[in-house]
Structure 1
Amino acid sequence: MTLSEGTGRQGGGLTTGEVARRLGVAPTTIRSWDRRYGLGPRVRTGGEHRRWTAEDIARLERMCALTTTGMPPAEAARVARSEQHPDAATAARPAAQPRVRPEPAPSRARTGLRLGDARQECRGLARAALRLDACALDRLLDTVIADHGLVAAWHEVIMPTLQAVGRKWESAGERYVEVEHFLSWHVSGALRRCAPPAVPERSGATTLLACVPGENHTLPLEVLAAALAERDLPVRMFGAALPVEAVVEAVRRTGPAAVGLWAQSRTTASRPLAQHVAAMEWGVRGARRHPAVLTLGPGWAGKAVPGLLRPTGLAEALTALEAAVTG
């Protein structure tokens, strides 16, 4: 079901702000399209208040789809108006002049991100990312995390959108690299905004998170760090590509209850490093401790390390770390 189909059952239509959130564009963008290209609602109530009907929103959806292909906004607006209101587009022509059908525009299926049955919020994020609309993207990310919670927002909205962007990049050469970087950067910022202030560290009850040497994909580890902070569990986050000597020194200096080592690629996952960290000890003689070591990420697939934890997802990793820290 499209946004315009869902709106048709609501009777009074949607406000500009509601339409903007669902389409993933800024309200100022919609007002600009109204003012410049005549894509405003057909009916206004209470003076200048806009109420968008299903037909109105269908034009905006088409406008979004066309502009993401690189079509100039003025031309996209002309096509959107013509497709939705062919009679209005030809009303000013002489009666004897034959009606000319507009040239078909690139279809949405070939140009948009393939999100399948993903939540409506995914589509809003995808549109904002494709348009490189920073304000809309930040607003949508903050809203979806607040509405659904961090874990659900990551699994059901943010990660599917990131995967769709990745597929688009792979199928379109280098055209969409900037979209993936843009979306990842804003997701990282949203994670920092939603996380509570740092939890006071407790001796022997802290989690240390780091990417293995050569690994620069930090975003899943940032989600885990934010989720731990959300649960009032102290965490030290070291980010991308921490050298072996630095990993060992960080563990030695902090004595964490648990260590999470992230590897996105099998070429970076290091079994000797994980085993070395798991064998480290600290504390007084007779009561020395080892950290619980979690091998995180797809890079560890097929590299099971005896005695170490290998959670398969965010929820499982959170459960394992909470048990290690509080147990």
Structure 2
Amino acid sequence: MAPMSNKATHPPDTPLYPIREVSRLTGVNSVTLRAWERRYGLIRPQRTPKGHRLYAQDDIARIERILQWLNRGVPVSQVADLLDQPETVETPTADSGDWASQQQLLKTTIEAIDLPKLEALYHESLALYPLSIAINELWQPVILALEAKWADRPDDLVRRTFEAFFRSQVGIRLHYANQATRGPLILLSAMPDDPGPLWVLMCALLASEQGYRVQMFDHSLALDDLPQAVTRLHSSMVLFSSGQREDDDYISHALPQAAEALNVPIGVCGEVARLRENDLRDGPVNMLGDDLPQAIARLRPLLRESGIL
């Protein structure tokens, strides 16, 4: 049987797009598009004689529907059964249970210090989901749960091992991403009371994916050093993140004073932004919220407003 040609499936004037262009149009990276196809059969692009994927407009519309379901909290394993249903269909009640089981598996793996399995879960989550969904539905809830547990029953071995693992994985991505983009440089720092870099690392992943270069400090950078750091690193913005409430004087006085003296914007995100929203709302510090993907999405309008972009 002769292989199916593109012309046999679509009229000759139907545009077909390579995977790189589809990734640009939909915001879904090519690794994820291939994973959706191979693992779940969610999309079925055509192939050139040399095996390169080609996507029609119908495929792009299907990808957008997949994203709609994922953004409603449906795990990718359940999307296939929903794609051809009316858009008004209710989100299935089993979603949270599936996400809960994935969160529990990740949490158990971290606490067991099973690094090979943790590495597999890390790469799988970033392959199957857009990063914003992987962070919101999996990594941030697990880190919140672990930090709450560690606050009551410290476990330095588990925490430091997980931090070292996460730092190495994010560091690899940042190294290559920083070389591949000319985007604005974000100086990203932990805050003084945060005992580790987990929130900063999640922010770094998201900012890098959005095309920013990231200079990351996983220990708090002294506020007095900010002007020199911004100048010498040619930074367009300073972004602080923390999973803690942070000290009253630091929040009420030191940070706003530093923001007033700086010639680039200062933003704050993570749990600290939720816990301190009222304390910093009307000052010179930009409160970006505890939803990390939304916080990173707010950087571009903030940089435009500041005249940097």
TM-score by length of 1: 0.53
Kindly provide the amino acid, as one letter, of the partner of residue 272 in structure 2: G
Q: Which among 271, 288, 291 is matched to residue 311 of structure 1? A: 288
Number of equivalenced pairs: 202
Kindly provide the amino acid, as one letter, of the partner of residue 197 in structure 2: T
Moved over 6 A (4+): none
Q: Which among 250, 262, 270 is matched to residue 297 of structure 1? A: 270
What displacement does 1:200 show? 6.4
User: Are 2:162 and 1:189 aligned?
Assistant: no
User: Are 2:102 and 1:121 aligned?
Assistant: yes
User: Are 2:178 and 1:198 aligned?
Assistant: yes
Hey, what's the Cα distance between the residues in 1 that align with 2:191 and 2:146?
Answer: 25
Tell me if the contact between 2:224 and 2:258 (Cα under 8 Å) persists in the aligned partners: no
Structure 1, gaps ≥5 residues long: 1-114, 282-289
Tell me if the contact between 2:265 and 2:303 (Cα under 8 Å) persists in the aligned partners: no
Hey, what's the Cα distance between the residues in 2 that align with 1:213 and 1:248?
Answer: 18
**Higher relative helix content:** 2
Tell me if the contact between 1:165 and 1:179 (Cα under 8 Å) persists in the aligned partners: no
Structure 2, gaps ≥5 residues long: 1-95
User: Are 2:206 and 1:227 aligned?
Assistant: yes
What displacement does 1:151 show? 1.9
What displacement does 1:135 show? 0.8
Q: How does 1:247-326 map to 2 (within 5 A)?
A: 247-263=226-242, 264-267=244-247, 269-280=250-261, 290-300=263-273, 301=276, 302-304=278-280, 305-312=282-289, 313-325=291-303
Q: Classify 1:257/1:214 alpha carbon distance in 2 versus 1 (closer, same or farther; 3 Å).
A: same
Hey, what's the Cα distance between the residues in 1 that align with 2:177 and 2:234?
Answer: 22
Tell me if the contact between 2:185 and 2:213 (Cα under 8 Å) persists in the aligned partners: yes
Kindly provide the amino acid, as one letter, of the partner of residue 266 in structure 1: E
What's the secondary structure of 1:310's corresponding residue? strand
Deviations 1:83-139 (A, max 9, x none): xxxxxxxxxxxxxxxxxxxxxxxxxxxxxxxx9764432232223223221111111
What is aligned with 1:178? 157
Hey, what's the Cα distance between the residues in 1 that align with 2:302 and 2:272?
Answer: 23
Q: Classify 1:185/1:128 alpha carbon distance in 2 versus 1 (closer, same or farther; 3 Å).
A: same
What is aligned with 1:70? none
Deviations 1:188-225 (A, max 9, x none): 3333344443146769x322111234544321112112
What displacement does 1:179 show? 2.9
Tell me if the contact between 1:132 and 1:182 (Cα under 8 Å) persists in the aligned partners: yes
Kindly provide the amino acid, as one letter, of the partner of residue 197 in structure 1: A
What is aligned with 1:217? 196
Hey, what's the Cα distance between the residues in 2 that align with 1:200 and 1:132?
Answer: 33
Q: Classify 1:149/1:242 alpha carbon distance in 2 versus 1 (closer, same or farther; 3 Å).
A: same
What is aligned with 1:236? 215
What is aligned with 1:157? 138
Kindly provide the amino acid, as one letter, of the partner of residue 265 in structure 1: R
Deviations 1:236-288 (A, max 9, x none): 2222121233223212334532211234232174343433343346xxxxxxx
Q: Classify 1:232/1:238 alpha carbon distance in 2 versus 1 (closer, same or farther; 3 Å).
A: same
The sequence identity of aligned pairs, in percent, is 18
Q: Which among 120, 125, 149 is matched to residue 139 of structure 1? A: 120
Hey, what's the Cα distance between the residues in 2 that align with 1:271 and 1:252?
Answer: 25
Hey, what's the Cα distance between the residues in 2 that align with 1:274 and 1:169?
Answer: 27
What's the secondary structure of 1:242's corresponding residue? coil
Q: Classify 1:207/1:273 alpha carbon distance in 2 versus 1 (closer, same or farther; 3 Å).
A: farther
Kindly provide the amino acid, as one letter, of the partner of residue 165 in structure 2: H
Q: Classify 1:218/1:132 alpha carbon distance in 2 versus 1 (closer, same or farther; 3 Å).
A: closer
Hey, what's the Cα distance between the residues in 1 that align with 2:195 and 2:228?
Answer: 20
Deviations 1:139-181 (A, max 9, x none): 111111121132211221122223333444456x45x443333
Hey, what's the Cα distance between the residues in 1 that align with 2:143 and 2:203?
Answer: 16
Kindly provide the amino acid, as one letter, of the partner of residue 240 in structure 2: L
Hey, what's the Cα distance between the residues in 1 that align with 2:196 and 2:287?
Answer: 18
Hey, what's the Cα distance between the residues in 2 that align with 1:200 and 1:246?
Answer: 28
Q: Classify 1:139/1:202 alpha carbon distance in 2 versus 1 (closer, same or farther; 3 Å).
A: closer
The structure that has the greater radius of gyration is 1
Q: Classify 1:318/1:218 alpha carbon distance in 2 versus 1 (closer, same or farther; 3 Å).
A: same
TM-score by length of 2: 0.55
Tell me if the contact between 1:294 and 1:308 (Cα under 8 Å) persists in the aligned partners: yes
